Structure 1
Amino acid sequence: MLFKPWQLAAVISSAAIATSASSPIEQDFAPEDIISRDVCILGGGGSGTYAAIRLKDSNHSVVVVERNDYLGGHAETFYLDDEKQFINYGVEGVFNDDLSKEYLERLGVSWDSLALSTLIDKYVDFNTGKEVLPPSDLLTTVVGAALYRLAIQKYTTLDQGVYNLPDPVPEELLEPFSKFVEEHALQGVLRLVLMFAQNVGNILDAPLLYIIQNFGVPHINALLEGGYITPKNGIAELYDSAAKVLGNDVLFQTTAIETNRSDSGVSILVENHADGSRKLIKAKKLLITFPPLLESLKGFDLDTKETGLFEKWNWMSYHVAIVNNTGIPSGITVGNADPNNGPASLPHTPFQWELEYLGVPGYLASKIIANSSVTGDDAKNLVISDIKRMGAVGTFDVPADGPNIVQFGSHSPETLIVSTDNIRNGFYKNLYSLQGRHSTFYTGLTFCTDYSSVLWAYTNTVIEKMFS
Structure 2
Amino acid sequence: MNYSISVIYFLFLIFSPRITGLPSTVSGTDTDTQTYDVCILGGGATGTYAAIQLQDRGKRAVVIEPKNQLGGHTETFYLPSGSYVDYGVQGAFDDKLSRKFFNRLGVKWHRTVPSFTGQDFVDFTTGRIVESPVGLVQSLLAIVRYRLALRRFPFLDKGFYDLPDPVPEVMFRPLREFIEENSLENAIPMLFFWAHTVGDMLDKPAIYTLLDFGVPQISAMLGGYITPERGMYELYRQAATLLPNVHYQSKVVKAKRSDAGVTLTVQHLNGNQTTIQAKQLLITHPPTMEKLQGFDLDAEERELFSKWIWRNYYVGVIKQHGIPDGRYVSNTNPRTGPGFLPEMPFESLIQYMGVPGHPNTKIVGPMNFTADDARQLVLADFARMKDAGTYSIQEPEIVAFADHSPEALMVAPEDIQTGFYRRLYALQGQRSTFYTGLTFCSDYSSLLWAFTDTVLERMQQE
Q: For 1:150-299, what aligned pairs fall within 5 Å after superposition?
A: 150-224=148-222, 226-247=223-244, 249-273=245-269, 275-299=270-294
- What's the counterpart of residue 354 of structure 1? 349
Q: For 1:88-107, what aligned pairs fall within 5 Å after superposition?
A: 88-107=86-105
Alpha-carbon distance in structure 1 between the residues aligned to 2:205 and 2:273: 43
Measured after TM superposition, the shift of residue 145 of structure 1 is: 2.6
Alpha-carbon distance in structure 2 between the residues aligned to 1:290 and 1:327: 38
Alpha-carbon distance in structure 1 between the residues aligned to 2:291 and 2:30: 25
- What's the counterpart of residue 308 of structure 1? 303
Alignment-mate amino acid for residue 153 of structure 1: R
TM-score, normalised to structure 1's length?
0.91
Alignment-mate amino acid for residue 348 of structure 1: E
Tell me if the contact between 2:113 and 2:221 (Cα under 8 Å) persists in the aligned partners.
no
Alpha-carbon distance in structure 1 between the residues aligned to 2:276 and 2:137: 54
Alpha-carbon distance in structure 1 between the residues aligned to 2:206 and 2:319: 36
SS of the residue corresponding to residue 202 of structure 2 reads coil
Question: Among 430, 437, 450, which residue is 2:430 paired with?
Answer: 437
SS of the residue corresponding to residue 295 of structure 1 reads coil
Matched, 1:452 2:445: yes
Measured after TM superposition, the shift of residue 29 of structure 1 is: 7.1
Report runs of 4+ in structure 1 exceeding 4 Å deviation.
none
Tell me if the contact between 1:120 and 1:335 (Cα under 8 Å) persists in the aligned partners.
no
Matched, 1:57 2:56: yes
Measured after TM superposition, the shift of residue 398 of structure 1 is: 1.6
SS of the residue corresponding to residue 269 of structure 1 reads strand
Tell me if the contact between 1:320 and 1:408 (Cα under 8 Å) persists in the aligned partners.
yes
Matched, 1:410 2:409: no
Going from structure 1 to structure 2, the CA distance change for 1:119 and 1:86 (only over 3 Å counts) comes to same
Alignment-mate amino acid for residue 405 of structure 2: S
Alignment-mate amino acid for residue 432 of structure 1: Y
- What's the counterpart of residue 127 of structure 1? 125
Alpha-carbon distance in structure 2 between the residues aligned to 1:186 and 1:144: 6
Q: For 1:333-372, what aligned pairs fall within 5 Å after superposition?
A: 333-372=328-367
Alignment-mate amino acid for residue 453 of structure 1: S
Tell me if the contact between 2:30 and 2:272 (Cα under 8 Å) persists in the aligned partners.
no
Tell me if the contact between 1:356 and 1:364 (Cα under 8 Å) persists in the aligned partners.
yes
Alpha-carbon distance in structure 1 between the residues aligned to 2:63 and 2:49: 11
- What's the counterpart of residue 426 of structure 1? 419
SS of the residue corresponding to residue 181 of structure 2 reads helix
Q: Deviations over 1:375-423 (max 9, x none)?
A: 0000000000001011011111122xx1110100011000000001111
Matched, 1:79 2:86: no
- What's the counterpart of residue 461 of structure 1? 454
Measured after TM superposition, the shift of residue 147 of structure 1 is: 1.8
Bigger mean CA offset, 277-286 vs 340-349:
340-349
Measured after TM superposition, the shift of residue 64 of structure 1 is: 0.2
Alpha-carbon distance in structure 1 between the residues aligned to 2:142 and 2:54: 40
SS of the residue corresponding to residue 342 of structure 1 reads coil
Alignment-mate amino acid for residue 40 of structure 1: C
Gaps of 5+ in 2: 1-22
Alignment-mate amino acid for residue 366 of structure 1: T
SS of the residue corresponding to residue 243 of structure 2 reads helix
Going from structure 1 to structure 2, the CA distance change for 1:341 and 1:264 (only over 3 Å counts) comes to same
SS of the residue corresponding to residue 134 of structure 1 reads coil
Q: Deviations over 1:294-329 (max 9, x none)?
A: 011110111111001000000101000110224212
Going from structure 1 to structure 2, the CA distance change for 1:159 and 1:467 (only over 3 Å counts) comes to same
Q: Deviations over 1:415-468 (max 9, x none)?
A: 000001111111000000000001000000000000000000000000001111
Alpha-carbon distance in structure 1 between the residues aligned to 2:425 and 2:75: 29
Q: Deviations over 1:306-364 (max 9, x none)?
A: 00100000010100011022421222111110011121211111110011111111111
Going from structure 1 to structure 2, the CA distance change for 1:139 and 1:347 (only over 3 Å counts) comes to farther
Tell me if the contact between 1:138 and 1:189 (Cα under 8 Å) persists in the aligned partners.
no
Tell me if the contact between 1:292 and 1:310 (Cα under 8 Å) persists in the aligned partners.
yes
Going from structure 1 to structure 2, the CA distance change for 1:141 and 1:57 (only over 3 Å counts) comes to farther
SS of the residue corresponding to residue 412 of structure 1 reads coil
Alpha-carbon distance in structure 1 between the residues aligned to 2:70 and 2:190: 30
- What's the counterpart of residue 111 of structure 2? 113
Alpha-carbon distance in structure 1 between the residues aligned to 2:287 and 2:221: 30
Measured after TM superposition, the shift of residue 144 of structure 1 is: 3.3
Q: Deviations over 1:222-273 (max 9, x none)?
A: 112x3100001100000000000003x1111110110010000000100112
Alpha-carbon distance in structure 2 between the residues aligned to 1:134 and 1:286: 49
Bigger mean CA offset, 275-284 vs 176-185:
176-185
Measured after TM superposition, the shift of residue 139 of structure 1 is: 3.8
Alignment-mate amino acid for residue 98 of structure 2: S
Q: Percent identity?
A: 47
Alpha-carbon distance in structure 1 between the residues aligned to 2:102 and 2:140: 28
* Structure with bigger gyration radius: 1
Matched, 1:43 2:36: no
Measured after TM superposition, the shift of residue 89 of structure 1 is: 0.5
Alpha-carbon distance in structure 2 between the residues aligned to 1:2 and 1:130: 56
Tell me if the contact between 1:144 and 1:192 (Cα under 8 Å) persists in the aligned partners.
no
Alignment-mate amino acid for residue 419 of structure 2: G
SS of the residue corresponding to residue 388 of structure 1 reads helix
CA RMSD across the alignment: 1.4
Q: Deviations over 1:135-185 (max 9, x none)?
A: 135545643332211111210011111101011111111111111111111
Alpha-carbon distance in structure 2 between the residues aligned to 1:314 and 1:136: 31
Alpha-carbon distance in structure 2 between the residues aligned to 1:258 and 1:265: 14
Gaps of 5+ in 1: 4-27
Alpha-carbon distance in structure 1 between the residues aligned to 2:139 and 2:111: 18
Q: Deviations over 1:85-136 (max 9, x none)?
A: 1111000000000000000000000100022223352111000111111113
Tell me if the contact between 2:140 and 2:187 (Cα under 8 Å) persists in the aligned partners.
no
How many pairs does the alignment contain? 436
